[in-house]
Amino acid sequence: MTKSTTPAITIATRKSPLALWQAEAIRDALLQLHPDIAVELLPMSTRGDKILDAPLAKVGGKGLFVKELESALLDGRADIAVHSTKDVPMELPEGLTLGVICDREDPLDALVLPQGENSQALTINSLKDLPQGATVGTSSLRRQCQLQQLRPDIKCESLRGNVNTRLAKLDEGQYDAIILAAAGLRRLGFADRISYLIDPQDMLPAVAQGALSIELRSNDVATQALLQPLHHFDSALCVAAERAMNCRLNGGCQVPIAGFAKLSDDHALSLEGRVGAIDGSELLIEKQQLIMNAKDDFVERIVQAERLGEAIAERLIARGARVLLDQAYDE
């Protein structure tokens, strides 16, 4: 019997509904681009998925949601891993690379109100419209520090579990509102649950929020070539700036760091970075814009974006960001 020569790609993914949706979206995109290949999923549980009784910031360690997937890449059980880029540590294991940054979905945070018997007739056009002393569910120190800066009266309570579980807890009356990434809600068909898209002036998104990325072995040239049409250059520039800032701050995805870059039509790359005290008592903000030369090749523009991120980080550090981050780690 002749062995099949059909190219096959195995995608490592977490088992959560959102992670599976993301992996299936990449699978479908690959099959549309390359109908002759075979693509299968390898669902896995990560350490972050298994620890549900403690805030992630207290669990410690980086790569809570990706380490097991990366092990599957390194030992050959999988060819690629699909990630929410905000969960990917700044430093990757030797032999692996983030080869693709996909077209970024809505990067903003969304406020979600209860439905059903625990719902109230509230009109939310700003975080200032939340009731006095409201209980808001979030396990993100980034969201917490910015929310408490704006509304010190708000009570932030831990919220863990997948999107469906979090929505169920909200509707059961455990919280007056919760905050989730708009991208995840849209991807899972819950766009109608978005009560208010939070203005980034009030709550800047997480680094790389809304952007899917594909990790693979650095020497796997054939797979990289198959994936290349999924790479979105403008999104990659923005993500590069944000991740470079986070890397210089030695941050992970569970610290009070926010970063958001935008690329305008005239090639101006702007980046805003924030580091806050988790009680909301202090919030450092730095912004900068860089006019990129459209004639430079993509590699050079990535280098420029990373330098912008590092410059923002240095200014935040000069203003005391390290002290605030150390306090967050010690809590």
**CA dist., res. 15 & res. 192, Å (int):** 24
Q: Is residue 205 domain-resident?
A: no
Which of 87, 171, 176, 220 is the catalytic position? 87
In a domain, 150, yes or no: yes
* Number of domains the chain contains: 3
Strand partners, 286: 273
Catalytic residue status for 192? no
Do the Cβ atoms of 64 and 41 come closer than 8 Å?
no
2 pLDDT band, cuts 50/70/90, is: very low
Q: Quick check: 48 and 77 in contact, CB under 8 A?
A: no
Among candidates 49, 87, 66, 14, which has minimal Cα distance to 251? 87
Note the pLDDT tens digit of each residue in 159-181: 988 899 999 999 999 999 999 99
* pLDDT band at 252; cut points 50, 70, 90: low
Whether residue 3 is predicted with pLDDT greater than 60 in this model: the reply is no
pLDDT of 47: 62
Task: Return the pLDDT at 90.
Answer: 85
State whether 162 and 224 are in the same domain. no
- CA–CA separation, 256 vs 253, rounded Å? 9
In the prediction, which pLDDT does 48 show?
A: 57
Considering the domain architecture, whether residues 165 and 257 belong to the same structural domain is answered as no
Instruction: Tell me which residue range forms the domain holding 68.
Output: 1-104+211-231
Residue 51 reports pLDDT greater than 80: no
Res. 66 pLDDT band, cuts 50 70 90: confident
- Give the model confidence (pLDDT) of 275-287 as tens digits: 999 899 999 999 9
Q: State pLDDT tens for residues 254-272.
A: 689 999 999 998 889 999 9
Examine the domain organization and report whether 144 and 280 are in the same domain: no
Q: Are the CB atoms for 214 and 99 separated by under 8 Å?
A: yes
Residue 169 in any domain: the answer is: yes
Q: Is residue 202 part of a domain?
A: no
pLDDT, averaged across the chain: 90
Instruction: Give the pLDDT confidence of 106-164 residue by residue, as tens digits.
Output: 999 999 999 977 667 677 889 999 999 999 999 899 999 999 999 999 999 999 888 99
Task: Enter the tokens of residue 236.
Answer: 């990659």
- One domain for residues 125 and 154: yes
CATH number of the domain that 157 lies in? 3.40.190.10
